[in-house]
Amino acid sequence: MRNLKIFASVNIIFLLRIHNLILFFVKNSQFNIIFHIKERELILFFVKNSQFNIIFHIKERKFRFNTYYKNKKYNTKKLKNKIIL
């Protein structure tokens, strides 16, 4: 987790750390990224732009990549339940 790199084009808006919860909210002109680190085991990357939403789940160094394309049937309500602001 310490090796997490953020691209230079991305700006960090705020960093909130409460006990074992670290929340990074990163925003630029193209997309928003939320890094949700909970209990040092789960990292949730929420990437949003006008075309698609990407969730990266990293748990115990195992990468899972899920891509959800925006359509009329799918929205981000399910994702909001997983994100604590």
User: Any idea what DSSP says for residue 8?
Assistant: T
**Residue 30, domain extent:** 12-80
Let me know if residue 3 belongs to a domain. Answer: no
The two structure tokens encoding residue 40: 């040092």
Let me know if residue 4 belongs to a domain. Answer: no
Write down the mean pLDDT value for the chain: 43
- ∠ at Cα 14 (19, 8), nearest 5°? 120
The two structure tokens encoding residue 84: 């604590």
Let me know if residue 6 belongs to a domain. Answer: no
Mean pLDDT, rounded, for 48-75: 41
Let me know if residue 25 belongs to a domain. Answer: yes
Let me know if residue 85 belongs to a domain. Answer: no
The pLDDT assigned to 14 comes to 41
Q: How many Å from the N-terminal Cα to the C-terminal Cα in the chain?
A: 21
Q: What are 29-46's pLDDT values in tens digits?
A: 444 545 444 444 344 444
The two structure tokens encoding residue 52: 């698609």
Let me know if residue 7 belongs to a domain. Answer: no
Domain count, the chain: 1
Token pair 């969730």 in the structure block, residue: 55
Share of the chain above pLDDT 90, in %: 0
